[in-house]
Amino acid sequence: MVDSPPIGDLHFDDAPNVGSVPGPESQELLDKQREIDSSAVAYPEDIPVAFDEGKGATVRDADGNTFIDMFGGIGVLNVGHANPYVLEAVHEQADKLVHTVDFPTEARLELIEKLDEIAPGNLQGNNRVVFGGPTGSDAIEAAIKLAKYNTGGDGLIAFRGAYHGATSGALSLTSNTGAKEHYTPLLSDVVHAPYPNPFEQGKAPDEAVEHALEEVTAIVEDPYGGLANPAGIFVEPIQGEGGVVVPPEGFLAGLREIADENDLPLIFDEIQAGMGRTGEWWAGEHEGVTPDIMTTAKALGGIGFPLSATIYREDLDTWGSGDHAGTYRGHVVAMRAGSRAIEYIQQHDLLAHARDLGANIRARLREIADGNSHLGEVRGRGLFVGAEFVDGDGNPDSDLVDAIQQYCYEHGVLVWTAGRHGNVLRLLPPLVLTDDLADTALDVVADAISHVTTAEQPTA
């Protein structure tokens, strides 16, 4: 059996190391993609690169340029690209058996047990897991069905700024109207309440929480609130696409109370924030709040295999056989990869590492913010980091963030964006990022910020 190598051994040695980008090989692949691939392709529009090989928190493009990966496939690669401890099990399993619908395999049962081991609060020892389709959206669809089935209701409560996926049910919960307008009507009874975001709302944290909870209470309890048969409250414990928005203390606990008082399931979407990203297994744990149902995907498949799961309290396990169906009810290789990834995180105490390193990264960004009025707020937990940029008038400035992303790319660091105005720099590096790689990456990010804001910085 392969050892579980320390995180320092996982990466290309030379990162960052880039020439002029995109190089000729990347360019050729990008050109060909433009000719034959869908017009819906999006990521290369922001970073024009073709990748060839990844190791740990580093990734190499088709021309041999090596980058530090500070976005990890949007929070997928928590144990790094090609983690050897995970890969060993992947190879073994792929040689033996890949697809079994939902017949039992050791891999399946082992992952269910592993998920129970890391389940939050009173879900531990008191849960069931349903594996539906492979993506996060599939887990959300399962959660919607489960909530409706158990309550007999059909109204769903979600939040402004939320992203829950792109299939019809999940898209109904997603708040971005631009993403929905061509596909309406979606699920009809979905109401979006405000998510507490003190920076954006210009409110004190407790005011923002109070306002949000009042709105949710009104939707659920006011006889003239408009939503007749609520089935559940869907919330990201930290909004990801919405801009790495950490709700102030009291919000999740308040939702828990409202859900309990009204006999509604509280559903946490942990697809982006979960699986150790924030320095706890699940983001809701920072506030000690346990949902009735939660969704996970992204990093669940270990090193990038598509796998999602919906985990729920045992008494909600009321479906009859076949009531939630699909061909891919858990991919055996992905399940092996998921169990190994959980083990790797445990063996190397990557939760503590994520907490410590994330705090250092935020401290460094806050130092920059102290001297730069364009960096409005630094947020996050663990290795889930957001930095919100504004123009000279304090309004959202997505151009600055795009320019920072481009500068970082040209200097060997891959970063991503988020936020309803696209003005949040989002970092979701693999949890195996070392202190040294983080320092180097943050040097580049700091240079980028200073480079793109200097021209318009007379007041700083």
Should residue 141 be labelled a site residue for ligand PMP when binding is judged by CB under 6 A? no
Should residue 241 be labelled a site residue for ligand PMP when binding is judged by CB under 6 A? yes
Interface segment toward ligand PMP; rule CB under 6 A; list 17-25, 50-58, 134-142, 411-419: 134-142
Choice from 141, 200, 236, 285 touching ligand PMP (CB under 6 A): 236
Site for ligand PMP in 419-458 (CB under 6 A): none
How large is the angle between the packed helices 435-454 and 350-370, nearest 10 degrees?
20
Interface segment toward ligand PMP; rule CB under 6 A; list 45-53, 136-144, 210-218, 405-413: 136-144
Choice from 215, 269, 377, 397 touching ligand PMP (CB under 6 A): 269
Choice from 72, 132, 136, 284 touching ligand PMP (CB under 6 A): 136
Choice from 271, 335, 345, 354 touching ligand PMP (CB under 6 A): 271
Least distance in angstroms from the C-beta of 194 to ligand PMP: 18
How large is the angle between the packed helices 350-370 and 332-347, nearest 10 degrees?
70
* Among 23, 15, 105, residue whose Cα is nearest residue 68: 15
Should residue 163 be labelled a site residue for ligand PMP when binding is judged by CB under 6 A? yes
Q: What does the alpha-carbon distance between residue 185 and residue 317 come to, in Å, rounded to a whole number?
A: 30
Structure tokens at 80: 């790094």
Q: Which 3-state string (H, E, C) describes 437-457?
A: HHHHHHHHHHHHHHHHHHCCC
Q: What does the alpha-carbon distance between residue 179 and residue 145 come to, in Å, rounded to a whole number?
A: 22
Should residue 165 be labelled a site residue for ligand PMP when binding is judged by CB under 6 A? yes
The residue to which tokens 């109070």 are assigned? 210
Residue 14 CB contacts under 8 Å (≥ 6 apart), including other chains: 66
Should residue 240 be labelled a site residue for ligand PMP when binding is judged by CB under 6 A? yes
Choice from 272, 278, 310, 372 touching ligand PMP (CB under 6 A): 272
* Among 373, 57, 379, 360, residue whose Cα is nearest residue 242: 379
3 state DSSP class of 127: strand
Give the residue with the Cβ less far from ligand PMP, 190 or 369. Answer: 190
3 state DSSP class of 310: strand
Cross-strand partners of 55: 58
Interface segment toward ligand PMP; rule CB under 6 A; list 84-92, 131-139, 224-232, 415-423: 131-139
The mark string for 72-111 relative to ligand PMP (x by CB under 6 A, - otherwise) is --x-------------------------------------
Left if phi > 0, otherwise alpha if psi is -120 to 50, otherwise beta: which for 121? left
Should residue 172 be labelled a site residue for ligand PMP when binding is judged by CB under 6 A? no
Contact 428, 387 (CB under 8 A): no
Interface segment toward ligand PMP; rule CB under 6 A; list 236-244, 329-337, 338-346, 383-391: 236-244
Q: What does the alpha-carbon distance between residue 42 and residue 35 come to, in Å, rounded to a whole number?
A: 14
Give the residue with the Cβ less far from ligand PMP, 26 or 272. Answer: 272
Q: What does the alpha-carbon distance between residue 140 and residue 217 come to, in Å, rounded to a whole number?
A: 23
Choice from 55, 164, 256, 331 touching ligand PMP (CB under 6 A): 164
Q: What does the alpha-carbon distance between residue 434 and residue 53 come to, in Å, rounded to a whole number?
A: 19
Q: Tell me the residue ranges of DSSP E strands in 121-239.
A: 127-130, 155-159, 190-193, 230-235
Interface segment toward ligand PMP; rule CB under 6 A; list 37-45, 133-141, 207-215, 414-422: 133-141
Interface segment toward ligand PMP; rule CB under 6 A; list 39-47, 63-71, 219-227, 267-275: 267-275
Q: What does the alpha-carbon distance between residue 155 and residue 189 come to, in Å, rounded to a whole number?
A: 5
Least distance in angstroms from the C-beta of 282 to ligand PMP: 12
Question: How many of the chain's residues bind ligand PMP (CB under 6 A)?
Answer: 15
The mark string for 356-395 relative to ligand PMP (x by CB under 6 A, - otherwise) is ----------------------------------------
Site of interaction with ligand PMP (CB under 6 A): 74, 135-137, 140, 163-165, 236, 240-241, 269, 271-272, 297
